[in-house]
Amino acid sequence: MGVSGSGKTTIGSRLAESLGWSFFDGDDFHPPENIAKMSSGIALTDSDRVPWLQALADLIASLLASKKSAVLACSALKSEYRDRLKNGAGPNTDQLRFVYLKVSPSVAHERLRKREGHFMPEELISSQFETLEEPDDAIVINAELSPDEVVAQIRQALEL
């Protein structure tokens, strides 16, 4: 979890690959209306996020029901969003772990300036930091380190 530009897709896909797990990018679960809004530089509202969060919670429930381990990259910026995702885990919340990729606004801006082919414009980074409620129940990783270092730290923290 983390703001755009924190490295969720890069780190998540590398972590999943290193573990032999499936990787899911939360961006792929946004309805077209959300992508259109963000592409236009309009920040999403809580109500915009409801169907997206429900789709992710359903994915989590499906993975847990089939006893499959996976990495899911998604912003999960607010505590209530993370709670919705936990609802997908049902009684198995102990099997769901959040990793917060912490990054400074300047680094997030710089990364988005260099990123090509993504719908999230750099102008929305400030709104993500305004929305962000840093978790108190997640593994916190300095996402300004190299991807290899970040993956190694996550694996160590998860004892994998």
**CATH number reported for the structural domain that contains residue 52 in this entry:** 3.40.50.300
Domain count, the chain: 1
Give CA 121 to chain center in angstroms: 17
Distances 33 to 37, 49, 83, 90, 128 between C-alpha atoms, Å: 6, 10, 23, 28, 18
The β-bridge relationship of strands 139-142 and 99-102 is parallel
The mean pLDDT value for 126-145 works out to: 93
User: How confident is the model at residue 42, as a pLDDT?
Assistant: 85
Residue 61 domain flag: yes
Residue 136 domain flag: yes
The mean pLDDT value for 31-59 works out to: 90
User: How confident is the model at residue 119, as a pLDDT?
Assistant: 55
Residue 55 domain flag: yes
The domain in which residue 143 lies consists of 8-158
Residue 88 domain flag: yes
Residue 50 domain flag: yes
Residue 3 domain flag: no
pTM: 0.89
The mean pLDDT value for 67-81 works out to: 96
Residue 117 domain flag: yes
Range in 32-36, 84-88, 122-126 with the lowest mean pLDDT = 122-126
**pLDDT tens, residue by residue, 8-27:** 999 999 999 999 999 999 98
Give CA 142 to chain center in angstroms: 15
**Stretch (H or E) spanning 53:** helix 46-65
- Per-residue pLDDT band at 148 (split at 50, 70, 90): very high
Residue 2 domain flag: no
Q: What percentage of the chain reaches a pLDDT higher than 70? A: 94
